[in-house]
Amino acid sequence: MTFCGEVFGCAVQLHTFAEFNRSDGPADAMAHGYLAGGPVALSGAGVSADEPPFRSEGMMPALLGTAGPSTLRYWFPRLCAGGRVVDDLQTRPWGASDGQVIDRYGLPWLIGFEGDESD
């Protein structure tokens, strides 16, 4: 969450199991987190001590038209810092621009916008 907050320019709110009076996980482990005060809404929750960690295949957060082209072009290299570019952000034959990255945590992202470069 902290990484995403830095990329998107959002405040990060993190809450431990202890803060929520939960005893089903380590007191200092993150139970919930979310981005606040920025252009991207993202929330997450930690699993309890008895639950397996979340695994996903085929899921990709998409930032299609979430912001203007210049902002999306700014986010693209920041999301892949420490990760990798899968498909560079480029104009497609149908006129839209998009690209894919995998961030340093292994999460794939699709970033894109319709139309020209002007915001």
For the residues of the chain, what is the DSSP string, one character each? -HHHHHHHT-EEEEEETGGGT--SS-TTSEEEEEEESSS---EEEPPPTTSPPP--SS---EEESSS-HHHHHHHHHHHHTTSEEEEEEEE-TTS-EEEEEE-TTS-EEEEEESS-S--
Domain ranges of the chain: 2-45, 62-113
> pLDDT, tens digit, for every residue of 54-90?
787 888 999 999 999 999 999 999 999 999 999 999 9
- Say yes or no to pLDDT of 107 above 90: yes
- Say yes or no to pLDDT of 119 above 60: no
> pLDDT, tens digit, for every residue of 24-49?
888 988 899 999 999 999 999 888 87
Q: What is the pTM assigned to this prediction?
A: 0.85
Q: Can you tell me the mean pLDDT for 84-111?
A: 95
Second CATH level (architecture) for the domain 62-113: 2-Layer Sandwich (3.30)
> pLDDT, tens digit, for every residue of 2-16?
999 999 999 999 999
